[in-house]
Amino acid sequence: MRILVVEDQIKMANFLKKGLNEVGYAVDVAESGIAAESFMAQGEYDLVVLDVMLPDQNGIDTARHLRRDGFEGPILMLTALATTKDKVNGLDAGADDYLTKPYSFDELLARVRALLRRKSSSTGGGNSFLQYADLELDLIHRKVRRAGQELSLTTKEFALLEYLMRNADRPLGRVSIAEHVWDIHFDSESNVIDVYINMLRKKIDAPFSKKLIHTVVGVGYVLKENS
């Protein structure tokens, strides 16, 4: 899952990025409303965490612009303004949820997960469970099983497998993988993606007769049942 954090306070933005990275999300940071719109034009995001107080335009206008430009994913608005009128204005502008400062990271993470589950459910993706062939991914408990056998994955391996499973049978290029599993600034020409694919193969393919992760020459990788 790929998240755009729109926050002009660098310390807070880095805190949110680090925390969300640690639980497996790919995160980009925009420091202004205009920058957020630019990021959105460059790539696809599953969710936006949007601060109301921005240096160029407020978050309410930014949310309105993102909706106008076609973003349909959830927007979680962050603000120190706690009145009912402020919340109504934010929700009317297109926000899906509203979190008042100060807040704990655990509360923010719970809101993020709830919004992504709601999005997944509304698009027919299921609430918290992905399955392909005999491979199962539990997004809530962060568990992976193949043929009933539980496998241990690192946070980044889990995120990579989730992206492959959400796009099963579809060849994925290194740039696409880099942007969704790492972030927009990741160097897709490095061999890090190949290293992680190999580590993932050792865990979910090597112990089993049927291989699921395949190389697509000149493109990248694909999760599919037939070679």
3-state secondary structure the chain: CEEEEECCCHHHHHHHHHHHHHCCCEEEEECCHHHHHHHHHHCCCCEEEEECCCCCCCHHHHHHHHHHCCCCCCEEEEECCCCHHHHHHHHHCCCCEEEECCCCHHHHHHHHHHHHHHHHHHCCCCCCEEEECCEEEECCCCEEEECCEEECCCHHHHHHHHHHHHCCCCCEEHHHHHHHHCCCCCCCCCCHHHHHHHHHHHHHCCCCCCCCEEEECCCEEEECCCC
- Mean pLDDT across 183-212: 84
Give pLDDT tens digits for 22-73.
888 889 999 999 999 999 988 789 899 999 989 888 889 999 999 998 898 8
The pTM assigned to this predicted structure is 0.66
Domains located in the chain, CATH noted: 2-122 (3.40.50.2300), 129-223 (1.10.10.10)
pLDDT number for residue 35:
94
